[in-house]
A and B are shown apart, each in its own frame.
Chain A
Amino acid sequence: MSNLARAFDHGKAFIPFVTCGDPDLETTAKVVRAMAANGADLVELGIPFSDPTAEGPVIQGANVRALRAGTTTDKVFDLVRSLREDVTIPLVFMTYANVVYSYGSERFLGKCEEVGIDGLILPDVPYEEKGEFLDVCRSHGVDLVSFVAPTSEDRIQMIAREAEGFIYVVSSLGVTGVRSRITTDLASIVEVIREATDVPCAIGFGISTPEQARQMCEVADGAIVGSAIIKLLERYGRDAAGPVGEYVRTMKDAIR
């Protein structure tokens, strides 16, 4: 069993996201520890990118702040190395293909293995292009997470059959960001995935309230939340660890 799958061992998984270096890496370290202490089952660590094309305005803002603060891929690796002194839950990187490719895929994934990263999420790498990164991910024991979207339709089974770690089910059309309603027929999508694989499914994009998380976890194995947490970082800045911890606790309690 992959390390990532451990995140789904304790019932429904709550998966918070944070952009590393927003507003600085010291805050990110505190926020991740608060997430882990308050019931997060897995944390998605965003490595900032200059042009995050899959993100809505909230996470775009986090990327801008993180880069302005001088965050680099090397500093993010240092952050994870220090987090791993006490944080034991699975950790995955969420970033864009060019961040990995430009660093050198082999060198990047080698560092991931060394510091204890369990998975890699690249929203601009679909099934057809995963060969670019798959072998090097496997050779370093890092799961390359696959996406299924509301528009995937006839592609779902093909994607699901080869999925590793968990499947990131995109709740809605469009980019990341808080939504008041999620109208996609996610139950049908998860049902088609289930016909092809036992790999867990986590739903992301647009989830912010405990009620939404609970609804998502009625059909899937976990809920991913990004923009709602970044909004707390926007609001509380360097003091965000406390409010983020409380929020994670509330969300995890809602899906227990």
Chain B
Amino acid sequence: MTDTTRSPGSKGRFGVHGGQYIPETLMNAVIELEQAYDHFKDDPDFNAELARLFNEYAGRPSLLYFAERMTEDLGGAKVYLKREDLNHTGAHKINNVLGQALLAKKMGKTRLIAETGAGQHGVATATAAALMGMECVVFMGEEDTIRQALNVYRMRLLGSEVVPVKSGTATLKDAVSEAFREWTNRIADTHYCLGSVMGPHPFPTIVRDFQAVISRETKRQMREREGTLPDAVLACVGGGSNAIGSFYHFIDDEGVRLIGCEAAGRGVDTFETAATMATGREGIFHGMKSYFCQDEYGQIAPVYSISAGLDYPGVGPEHAYLRDIGRAEYVPVTDEEAVEAFEYLSRMEGVIPAIESAHAVAHAMKIAPEMDKDQTIVVTLSGRGDKDVAAIARYRGEDLHE
């Protein structure tokens, strides 16, 4: 991508976004990571090993499933679901984690640290750490450890330590801050396995490249099934890793609409929202220049979404750039719409999506009826919804006794 920054030394720019806004203490760590990645990304042995992990361990390629009943019901475009929910550990997060854990191992690191929101990235990191015999510590907002208690136990079962983060709003952004603090404290043996296309360079690029397997497969699968490219690709956006992975190999195909669905919470006209593109403005935080939910003095705003995985006040710099140049669209989806989509897909297709992914399903339900029957849309189901069933039941007023 173009490098238009005013700082000649600045790396990892997507238009004006990106960069490396981190403490000096971490600079050599990210430089070391960048050099290692530049070496291994084109290394045939590394790629063969990663492909083997993807195919034999994670269960790739993930299915592209034609949602026939949903298509008939909506009465418009054919709806395909890219089933990242069928991956080992139940979400797209494993793609990035296997890549980074393998890279960390090649770099001689013996310990992984990670942040997690819904717990999916934490579970994926704990899984890769178990697989590769590495130590693992996951930082998780205390609020999220309550919302996603089962995932906390899952990580511990996999041999990881889970550290509840009490600072700030005790959610995903605070878990990211705490993981960065921990990395500053212990660098030599530790790799920070960042879970989304955010943070300082080279993370947005590395995570995108590992997640790009999604669109690489989708493109091939759509050609096999429909003989053509989809008219639209939809994915939910928090930091934006499943979305950038779903979009990446379609960016140059201008006929393919790329639509990111962000969490509007109780609505973009309320303070209880996490819709960064709709309500944020340009800022510098967590290592990158991008769009952030913030007040007039640049204080990062507390954000809210029913989905712990989209509950983040920023968005990855490449998404900010894709929006700036008009290549991708970003739409807000409320809690209520997401919950309706969660229920709709469960009943219509027998597929319970993660509440994060349900944001993308909700938007598909809006646009598919307006499209022609010979058009196609692909919705990435970033994860499975088992983790959300209890929370959605409570949202609907069920009295659960666990």
Chain A positions within 8 Å of B, measured between CB atoms, are 49-51, 53-54, 56-57, 60, 67, 72-74, 96-103, 123-132, 135, 146-155, 159, 170, 173-175
B184 close to A67 (CB less than 8 A)? no
A170 close to B24 (CB less than 8 A)? yes
Distance to closest chain B CB from A246 (angstroms): 31
Contacts of A57 in B (CB 8 A): 167
B25 close to A150 (CB less than 8 A)? yes
How many residue pairs, one in A and one in B, have C-beta atoms under 8 Å apart?
138
Complex: A127 Cα to B177 Cα, angstroms: 21
Tell me whether B105 is interfacial, beta carbon within 8 Å: no
Distance to closest chain B CB from A237 (angstroms): 21
A173 close to B185 (CB less than 8 A)? yes
Complex: A152 Cα to B23 Cα, angstroms: 11
Candidate in B5, B10, B11 with the most chain A CB atoms within 10 angstroms: B10
Complex: A123 Cα to B186 Cα, angstroms: 18
B9 close to A127 (CB less than 8 A)? yes
| With A124-B287, A126-B20, A174-B25 already in contact, 8 other A-B pairs whose C-beta atoms are closer than 8 Å | A51-B173, A51-B174, A102-B297, A127-B27, A147-B23, A151-B28, A152-B24, A173-B184
Tell me whether B283 is interfacial, beta carbon within 8 Å: yes
A131 close to B5 (CB less than 8 A)? yes
B24 close to A174 (CB less than 8 A)? no
Tell me whether B392 is interfacial, beta carbon within 8 Å: no
A126 close to B7 (CB less than 8 A)? no
Contacts of A175 in B (CB 8 A): 181, 184-185
Report B18-66 residues with CB < 8 Å from chain A CB: 19-29
Chain B positions within 8 Å of A, measured between CB atoms, are 5-11, 19-29, 167-168, 173-174, 177, 180-181, 184-187, 281-287, 292, 294, 296-300
Contacts of B25 in A (CB 8 A): 147, 149-151, 170, 173-174
Residue among B167, B173, B174, B298 making CB contact with A98, cutoff 8 Å? B298
Closest to A53 in B: B177
A127 close to B24 (CB less than 8 A)? yes
B181 close to A174 (CB less than 8 A)? yes
Contacts of A56 in B (CB 8 A): 181
B298 close to A174 (CB less than 8 A)? no
Residue among A53, A54, A101, A103 making CB contact with B286, cutoff 8 Å? A53
B28 close to A155 (CB less than 8 A)? yes
27 contacts between A and B (CB under 8 A): A51-B174, A53-B23, A54-B23, A60-B167, A73-B298, A97-B284, A98-B283, A98-B294, A99-B299, A101-B282, A101-B283, A127-B9, A127-B27, A129-B10, A131-B8, A148-B24, A151-B26, A151-B187, A153-B28, A155-B28, A170-B25, A173-B186, A174-B25, A174-B184, A175-B181, A175-B184, A175-B185
Contacts of A74 in B (CB 8 A): 297
Candidate in A98, A147, A174 with the most chain B CB atoms within 10 angstroms: A98
A53 close to B298 (CB less than 8 A)? no
A149 close to B185 (CB less than 8 A)? no
Contacts of A101 in B (CB 8 A): 282-284, 298
A98 close to B300 (CB less than 8 A)? yes
Contacts of A53 in B (CB 8 A): 23, 177, 180-181, 286
Closest to A205 in B: B25
Known: A102-B294, A103-B297, A152-B27. Is A128-B7 also a contact (CB below 8 A)? Answer: yes
Distance to closest chain A CB from B315 (angstroms): 15
Contacts of B28 in A (CB 8 A): 151-155
Residue among A51, A72, A96, A99 making CB contact with B168, cutoff 8 Å? A51
Known: A50-B299, A101-B298, A132-B7. Is A124-B185 also a contact (CB below 8 A)? Answer: no
Distance to closest chain A CB from B304 (angstroms): 15
Distance to closest chain B CB from A149 (angstroms): 4
Complex: A74 Cα to B296 Cα, angstroms: 11
Complex: A60 Cα to B167 Cα, angstroms: 8
Complex: A123 Cα to B184 Cα, angstroms: 12
Contacts of A126 in B (CB 8 A): 20-24, 27
B9 close to A124 (CB less than 8 A)? no
Distance to closest chain A CB from B320 (angstroms): 14
Closest to B25 in A: A149
Complex: A132 Cα to B13 Cα, angstroms: 13
